[in-house]
Amino acid sequence: MTLGRRRFLAGLGGGAGALALGSSPLARLAYSEPGDAPVRLLIIHKGTGTQPESYDCAGGPGRGFTLSPILEPFADLREHMVIVEGLDVRKKLNTPSEDHGNAMATFMTGGVTERADASSLPLATRTSIDQILATDPGFAGDAPIGSLQLAADARTGQLFTRILSWAGPGAPMPAESQPFAAYTRVFGSLAGGALGPDQLERVRRRKQSVLDFTRAGAQRLAGRLDGAGRERLDRHLTAIREVEQVLHRTVGCVDAAGFERQARAVDPSQPDAQHAQLGRAHLDLVRAAFQCDLSRIATFGWTAGPSLVNFSQLIPGVENVDFHALSHGGVNKVVDEMLVHRWYNEQMAAFLRTLRDTPDVDGRTLLDNTLVVVWSEMRSGQHSFENVPIQLFGGAGGRLEGGRLLRFGGRPTNDLWLTIANALGHPMSCFGDRERCTGTLPGLFDTRGAALDEPSRPARR
């Protein structure tokens, strides 16, 4: 979903309701056949690398591995997890003070950044993987919102260090960091626990009549416009159709009161003290959108690449500095850094359990039908880009077998997205720059293969 469409949705009040998420099964997804569930993709970025000494698992490859202290919070999700080791982010060389952003752009787009001139901001030269899939009807289906871009903390000194999604060369898609703003853009002004079912239906009908009037007026205008004007009008009508679909899919999904209270309760003006609540509010929004089939693709960033979150308010005893500074040194760097990475995994494990415990329309769970990719742009805060930390969660609709640790020797991260895209039904022979793509990863989805330490090989043509 483009930024323009998202603003249009916000202006109209968006859709027709919201989700207070409970344990009871949801109604069948609108426009889905009984027993048929879509596959969803959630990409979660946690900046500033990891602590290799406490992250790397003993044993493996395969099932015979022991979870490390940092990954231990995922113990009860082990059978839903695949740990991927040995992949390198082949970012542009020699980018002092801009390593985080360059590595993030390369990971997501498979290409390097470029500048329009010596003084301008580095920009991606390719489309990010989420946007490639968002424009594929075979994967995105008829979900009204092509993709979501969300972030718990957008503080950064450089814009491109908080960008995950790129609509194309030089076209960043900034994430929404305000939980209630994200909520209203997706679910709109029919939220409100005080409204009963009859009142909600009356509001929905009023909104529908406004949309009908707007569409009819736009169609009358079409004959008086030139080509460029008709193109803009077509985008406008497409946005109207998206609003209509959100209206129909959200009404009656579940009660709105609890989820709206959650979004309103978070205070974005306390980004350190409420870092966990901010993250959970956004992730629950993603879960709601996935459940009602409003969107099948989302990116979420905990922070910008160089994290500015101060964890002294969240973890007792951690040094009173931002996490990026902590990753480069500190009085108790080894202990403090490990505690922060473990803290993040505790938050994500709690969210993943809600996906695991949420029934989907095909009798499986939402986690079974979702692929969650968790990653960081570098190996550690010391700016190493080899063997970056990556974990996959979920079943991807029965395509991914969990409970495994796979090691690939020096392969580029482009190969990960190449493998995922093909597994999700988007065939491609190369993702990103050909010199950064060497082929699919054996054994990741096709378990008949083997995850070996192997040298890179020429890209497939």
Contact by Cβ (8 Å): 212, 39 = no
Residue 262 located in a structural domain: yes
Residue 9 located in a structural domain: no
Tokens matching residue 461: 């043509």
Residue 322 located in a structural domain: yes
DSSP-assigned letter for residue 25: P
Tokens matching residue 444: 């990741």
Q: Which residues make Cβ contacts (< 8 Å) with residue 64, sequence separation at least 6?
A: none
Tokens matching residue 451: 């995850």
State the maximum Cα–Cα separation within the chain, in Å, rounded to a whole number.
Answer: 70
Number of H helices, E strands in the chain: 13, 13
| CA pair distance 432, 297, nearest whole angstrom | 19
Polymer length in residues for the chain: 461
| CA pair distance 325, 356, nearest whole angstrom | 35
Residue 202 located in a structural domain: no
Residue 274 located in a structural domain: yes
Residue 222 located in a structural domain: no
Helix, strand, or coil (residue 371): strand
| CA pair distance 271, 20, nearest whole angstrom | 24
Residue 56 dihedral angles phi and psi, to the nearest 5°: -65, 135
**Of 46, 92, 35, residue with least CA distance to 345:** 46
Helix or strand (DSSP H, E) at 81:
strand 81-88
How do 81-88 and 404-412 pair as beta strands? parallel
Q: Which residues make Cβ contacts (< 8 Å) with residue 209, sequence separation at least 6?
A: none
How do 171-173 and 165-168 pair as beta strands? antiparallel
| CA pair distance 206, 122, nearest whole angstrom | 45
Helix or strand (DSSP H, E) at 217:
helix 197-222
| CA pair distance 87, 440, nearest whole angstrom | 12
**Of 107, 82, 124, 62, residue with least CA distance to 417:** 107
CATH of the domain at 298: 3.40.720.10
| CA pair distance 430, 125, nearest whole angstrom | 16
pLDDT in tens, the chain (461 residues): 333 333 333 333 333 333 333 332 233 343 344 458 999 999 999 999 999 999 999 999 999 999 999 999 999 999 999 999 999 999 999 998 899 999 999 999 999 999 988 888 899 999 999 999 999 999 999 888 899 999 999 999 888 899 999 999 999 999 999 998 888 767 764 444 444 556 555 555 555 554 565 556 666 777 777 777 777 666 656 655 555 555 555 555 544 556 677 888 999 899 999 999 999 999 998 998 898 888 999 999 999 999 999 999 999 999 999 999 999 987 888 899 999 999 999 999 999 999 999 888 899 999 999 999 999 999 998 899 999 999 999 999 999 999 999 999 899 999 999 999 999 999 999 999 999 999 999 999 976 544 444 443 333 32
Helix or strand (DSSP H, E) at 45:
strand 40-45
The total of structural domains in the chain comes to: 1
Residue 215 located in a structural domain: no
β-partners of residue 359 are 365
**Strand ranges, E, within 376-424:** 390-393, 404-412
| CA pair distance 197, 318, nearest whole angstrom | 48
Query: What pLDDT, on a 0 to 100 scale, did the predictor assign at position 85?
Result: 98
Strands laid side by side in the 390-393 sheet: 148-151, 297-301, 40-45, 370-375, 390-393, 81-88, 404-412
Task: For residue 236, count CB atoms less than 10 angstroms from its CB and return exposed for 0-12, middle for 13-18, buried for 19 or more.
Answer: middle
Query: What pLDDT, on a 0 to 100 scale, did the predictor assign at position 222?
Result: 72
| CA pair distance 93, 144, nearest whole angstrom | 39
| Domain membership of residue 145 as a residue range | 39-189+257-436
Q: Is the dihedral of CA 183, 187, 190, 196 positive or negative?
A: negative
Residue 247 located in a structural domain: no
**Of 221, 282, 294, 226, residue with least CA distance to 254:** 294
DSSP 245-278: HHHHHHTTSS-SHHHHHHHHH--TT-TTTTHHHH
Helix or strand (DSSP H, E) at 11:
helix 3-12
Residue with tokens 């473990």: 342
How do 297-301 and 40-45 pair as beta strands? parallel
H helical segments located in 292-331: 323-327
